[in-house]
Amino acid sequence: MPRGVLSLVFSVAMFCFSGTMFIGTGLHAKYPTPLVAALALILAGSGLIVTGSIGTFPALVVGFGGMFGTAVGLGYGIAVGTANLTKVRKGLVTGICVAAFAIIPVFLAPILKSYVASSGVFATIRSLGTFFAAMSLPVYACLSGGGVQIPIPTPTVSNETANSGGEFGLLLKLWVAFGTGTLAGLIAITHATGITQTFGGSVAQMALTVQSLALGNWAGRLAAGYFADNVGPKNVLLAAALSTAAALGGLCAFGEGNAIAATAVLTLVGAGFGAALTSYAALTSKLFGPTTFGRVYGKVFTGYGFAGIVAPYLAGALYVKFESYFLTLLIAAGISLFSAVLVYTLPTPAAPALDEKSS
């Protein structure tokens, strides 16, 4: 099956993920947050069980892309919304929550690989689905016991928003910056094995790239949370976008035939991608204020969702046409540089008070 067609599954999942983020705040605030979280886990489990039970490409698109993607959007919105409620070290708490979504490829990949070898792909998918559904009860109990409830967003606007030309202009700039700032990471995640292969990598090297990129993604999310609290999320985003552009440009210029260099660069791109996921949430909260965050972040997040729909398919189509990822990586480097310029033009939030940084 062509790479562009296979990328459709990820694109559908991203569409449902970001679409749910766009409308999900109303569900989190209008209905009990623990109930929405439990239903999201049941939906995720059902989607995987459908995928593993039917075992066809349409089932993969519907079960994983549609049902699982929607469920992840609900869960991600709840996690980020809950992190936004914290009073101290908000960036670090956001980083921890966001990093949890990247932890499975890092730590569970060897276990899942072993399970696939012994039981088969579809049985593994069904077992994962059962696990997700079963987790709905303990998650509901934990959130209920902790009194977690995401509040209804208020229409208040911070001084930075008012001084930057109003909400729509700032939203649009953040939307474009988020999408362009994560495009390279999305290409790296969805085409890691193919990129490594075209740079001369073996099957073992391709597997190493996937693991290393996932680790970079996870570490980038955690580290960005810490640095967002101390140097500000805008500076973190600038560093992530510039380092991504430089690494990809260097790989295109000097890395031909060097699979180790490709793995190293994709790991760095993964770290920049992870940093962006944490830092755009932190920056949005600072620019619009925590009480408005729930209303606006879902809109900003669709910039990432749009990139997630376009980037994997574009990379696959360019590979089919040129039988190379060179042009794709060069374009990704240029777009990352553009994102850095756009981030630079964003207003700089006021430095947090001492009690907001202390634990």
Q: What is the pLDDT of residues 195-251, one digit of tens each?
A: 999 999 999 899 899 889 999 999 999 999 999 999 999 999 999 999 999 999 999
pLDDT beyond 60 at 273: yes
Range with lowest mean pLDDT among 19-23, 162-166, 213-217, 264-268? 162-166
What's this model's pTM, rounded to 2 decimal places? 0.81
Q: How does the average pLDDT of the chain come out, rounded?
A: 87
First to last CA, the chain: 51
Q: What is the mean pLDDT of residues 85-93?
A: 82
Q: In whole angstroms, what is the distance from residue 91 CA to residue 307 CA? A: 24
Mean pLDDT of 9-33: 81
Answer yes or no: is pLDDT of 158 > 90. no
Whether 161 has a pLDDT exceeding 60, the answer reads no
Reported as half-sphere exposure (CB side, CA atoms, 13 A), residue 274 has a value of 32
pLDDT class of 2 with cuts at 50, 70, 90: low
pLDDT at 156 over 70: no
Contact 283, 349 (CB under 8 A): yes
Task: Give the pLDDT of residue 354.
Answer: 43
Judge whether 225 and 94 are in contact, CB under 8 Å: yes
pLDDT at 91 over 60: yes
Instruction: Report the length, in residues, of the chain.
Output: 359
- The 10s digit of each residue's pLDDT in 35-60 is 999 999 999 999 999 999 998 999 99
Instruction: Report the C-alpha gap between 79 and 82 in whole angstroms.
Output: 5
pLDDT of residue 25: 65
Asked if residue 248 lies in contact with residue 333, where contact means CB atoms within 8 angstroms, the answer is: yes
Q: What per-residue confidence (pLDDT) applies to 355? A: 43
Q: Is it the case that residue 133 has pLDDT exceeding 50?
A: yes
DSSP string, 15-69: HHHHHHHHHHHHHHHHS-HHHHHHHHHHHHHHHHHHHHHH-SHHHIIIIIIIIIH
Residues 6 or more apart from 242 whose CB is under 8 A from it?
A: 336, 337, 340
